[in-house]
């Protein structure tokens, strides 16, 4: 009887001990699909200000927010800096004569400005955005605040570092200092280019997934594996257009993929710092898609208690020339400048000035700039893709992507050698072809076609439309065939005498 009682007590004790052991102390896996992916720039604006958040300077931009080329006055000031322009040219660019007589006056003026702003170097033949070093620095408002999100990447605490909102010292985020006051990247969740990038990601342009696995508690584990990479599967959205939870996504382990170790404490995951963190980069066009390739990269994730969502930061040093190219050449520098009110010449100088990582012993300069991206995620099932699967290609967009890469390489070569480079074919840099089409109805058409220089290509037709725009070639031919001759441009006013022109012989 005593033996039975002892056996019963032992059984009850063992059962109790078993019940006390966490059921999750076993292999576990959590997956997430990234629903919001953007530079982790702070807003710093006044509380409750949302409607105009993308241009509100905020407390961190005491010198204001960049609004380059927002109107004809700013544009006129920019083109007037080139001493080789005549006064008539400056005046006509700012206010094209006869603009009210065309069907699309705003668009026509847009691309006249594009052509003019694309040539602001020390010689009119130099394209500005491929060769930003050949133009004077217009000045970029930079972040003056000390609070910033990111990581202490170099293990040091310097006077130039930021302090995080939770008090962490030594935060390295020079990209924020250089770029954080640019109008389209500012806003409390409504910055225009962040919205565009996220919208394109939601529409299927690319997908980023994260998989976390371990062997202990899913909220507390001192040895977890983190995988981040590209998925060929489009994001699934629910009836409210939000990213749906618990759908399956494949992760490719061939390109834009990294596996790294980390620790998990009360749902906060900190990874090791790896030499290279390969991950899809932010994009809003196919030609931008590729590898962000952070140097000294790491992740920090905050996983919700129910496991249905997570937020986090990803950071490291990125090549600043790549960042310049990804933003400038997604379309062309003039379009980005006029529509988004950025000046990529100013951005070039700001990135170069603030570069703080990836030291290049040959040049004795830094090739990288400390950066941090903000992530929001929804729960998902992240599964391995088929063996050997690579990132799929969009054949129809490959020519455009090739032109983007060639333009990026031309810019890099120019900035490294200080030898101005030609613009590779296949792009719309300097409004090639587009301006020629839009000024068909403009009385001052001949003036602009003669006065505004642009590079010529062997593949152009008789109307100046390049071969990589076949539909536009036909459109222009049809338009010219049915139109009478345009009225001549009005003569310049007496006070619009040509200024003395100067010619520079060397790079500023």
Q: 320-350 pLDDT, tens per residue?
A: 999 999 999 988 999 989 988 899 999 999 9
Which regions of the chain are under pLDDT 50? 1-23, 53-54, 494-508
Domain assignment present for residue 15? The answer is no
C-alpha distances out from residue 336 to 146, 236, 267, Å: 28, 30, 40
CA angle 401/405/408 to nearest 5° reads 135
Domain assignment present for residue 499? The answer is no
Last residue of one domain, picked from the residues 392, 414, 441: 392
Domain assignment present for residue 16? The answer is no
Domain assignment present for residue 18? The answer is no
Q: Does 172 lie in the same domain as 55?
A: yes
Q: Does 254 lie in the same domain as 333?
A: yes
CB within 8 Å of 187: residues ≥ 6 apart: 43, 53, 54, 56, 194
- Eight-class DSSP state of 471: H
Model pLDDT, residue 65: 80
Total domains, the chain = 2
Domain assignment present for residue 316? The answer is yes
Last residue of one domain, picked from the residues 392, 416, 432: 392
Q: Does 376 lie in the same domain as 254?
A: yes
Is-contact 426 87, C-beta < 8 A?
no
Is-contact 274 297, C-beta < 8 A?
yes
How much is the pTM?
Answer: 0.87
Nearest to 464 by CA among 486, 429, 437, 487: 437
Counting beta carbons within 10 angstroms of the beta carbon of residue 281, is it exposed (0 to 12), middle (13 to 18) or buried (19 or more)? buried
Q: Does 184 lie in the same domain as 278?
A: yes
- Eight-class DSSP state of 224: E
Q: Does 358 lie in the same domain as 232?
A: yes
Q: Does 458 lie in the same domain as 382?
A: no
Name the phi and psi angles at 316, rounded to 5: 160, -165
- Domain containing 167 equals 28-64+140-392
Q: 6-39 pLDDT, tens per residue?
A: 434 344 343 444 444 444 578 999 999 999 999 9
Model pLDDT, residue 14: 39
Q: Quick one: angle between helices 320-328 and 398-417, nearest 10? A: 130
User: Measured between alpha carbons, how far is 107 from 440 in angstroms, rounded to an integer?
Assistant: 13
Q: Does 125 lie in the same domain as 37?
A: no
Q: Does 163 lie in the same domain as 93?
A: no
Domain assignment present for residue 495? The answer is no
User: Measured between alpha carbons, how far is 68 from 347 in angstroms, rounded to an integer?
Assistant: 11
Q: Does 181 lie in the same domain as 121?
A: no
Q: Does 414 lie in the same domain as 291?
A: no
The tokens describing 109, both together, are 């003026």
Domain assignment present for residue 325? The answer is yes
Nearest to 304 by CA among 353, 266, 330, 331: 266
Domain assignment present for residue 71? The answer is no
User: Measured between alpha carbons, how far is 429 from 287 in angstroms, rounded to an integer?
Assistant: 14
Q: Does 105 lie in the same domain as 59?
A: no
The tokens describing 500, both together, are 């003395």
Q: Does 270 lie in the same domain as 255?
A: yes
User: Measured between alpha carbons, how far is 314 from 150 in angstroms, rounded to an integer?
Assistant: 8
């Amino acid at each position: 009887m005593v033996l039975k009682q002892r056996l019963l007590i032992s059984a009850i004790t063992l059962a109790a001990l078993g019940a006390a052991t966490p059921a999750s102390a076993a292999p576990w896996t959590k997956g997430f699909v990234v629903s919001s992916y953007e530079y982790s720039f702070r807003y710093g604006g006044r509380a409750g200000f949302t409607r105009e958040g993308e241009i509100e300077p905020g407390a961190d931009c005491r010198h204001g927010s960049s609004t380059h080329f927002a109107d004809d006055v700013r544009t006129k000031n920019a083109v007037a800096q080139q001493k080789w322009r005549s006064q008539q040219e400056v005046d006509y660019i700012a206010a094209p004569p006869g603009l009210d007589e065309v069907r699309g006056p705003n668009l026509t003026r847009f691309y006249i400005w594009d052509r003019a702003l694309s040539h602001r170097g020390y010689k009119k033949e130099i394209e500005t955005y491929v060769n930003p070093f050949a133009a004077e620095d217009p000045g970029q408002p930079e972040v003056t605040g000390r609070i910033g999100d990111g990581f202490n990447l170099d293990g040091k605490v310097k006077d130039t570092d930021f302090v995080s909102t939770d008090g962490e010292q030594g935060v390295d985020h020079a990209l924020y200092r250089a770029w954080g006051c640019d109008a389209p990247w500012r806003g409390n969740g409504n910055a225009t280019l962040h919205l565009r990038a996220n919208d394109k990601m939601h529409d299927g342009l690319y997908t980023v997934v994260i998989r976390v696995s371990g062997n202990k508690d899913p909220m507390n584990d001192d040895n977890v594996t983190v995988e981040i990479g590209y998925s060929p599967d489009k994001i699934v959205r629910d009836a409210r257009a939000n990213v749906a939870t618990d759908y399956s996504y494949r992760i490719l382990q061939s390109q834009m993929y990294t596996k790294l170790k980390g620790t998990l404490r009360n749902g906060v995951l900190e990874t090791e710092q790896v030499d290279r963190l390969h991950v899809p980069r932010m994009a809003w066009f196919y030609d931008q898609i590729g590898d962000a390739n952070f140097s000294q990269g790491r992740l920090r994730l905050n996983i919700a208690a129910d496991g249905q969502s997570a937020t986090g930061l990803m950071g490291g040093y990125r090549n600043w020339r790549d960042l310049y190219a990804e933003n400038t050449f997604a379309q062309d520098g003039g379009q980005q400048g006029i529509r988004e009110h950025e000046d990529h010449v100013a951005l070039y100088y700001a990135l170069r000035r603030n570069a703080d990582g990836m030291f290049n012993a040959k040049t004795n300069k830094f090739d990288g700039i400390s950066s941090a991206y903000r992530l929001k995620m929804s729960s998902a099932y992240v599964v391995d893709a088929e063996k050997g699967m690579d990132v799929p290609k969009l054949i129809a967009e490959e020519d455009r992507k090739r032109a983007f890469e060639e333009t990026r390489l031309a810019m890099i070569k120019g900035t490294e050698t200080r030898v101005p480079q030609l613009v590779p074919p296949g792009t719309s840099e300097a409004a090639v072809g587009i301006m020629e089409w839009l000024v068909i109805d403009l009385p001052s058409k001949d003036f602009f076609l003669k006065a505004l220089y642009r590079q010529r290509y062997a593949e152009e037709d008789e109307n100046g439309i390049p071969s990589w725009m076949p539909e536009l070639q036909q459109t222009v031919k049809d338009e010219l065939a049915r139109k009478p001759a345009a009225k001549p441009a009005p003569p310049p006013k007496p006070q619009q005498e040509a200024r003395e022109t100067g010619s520079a012989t060397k790079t500023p």
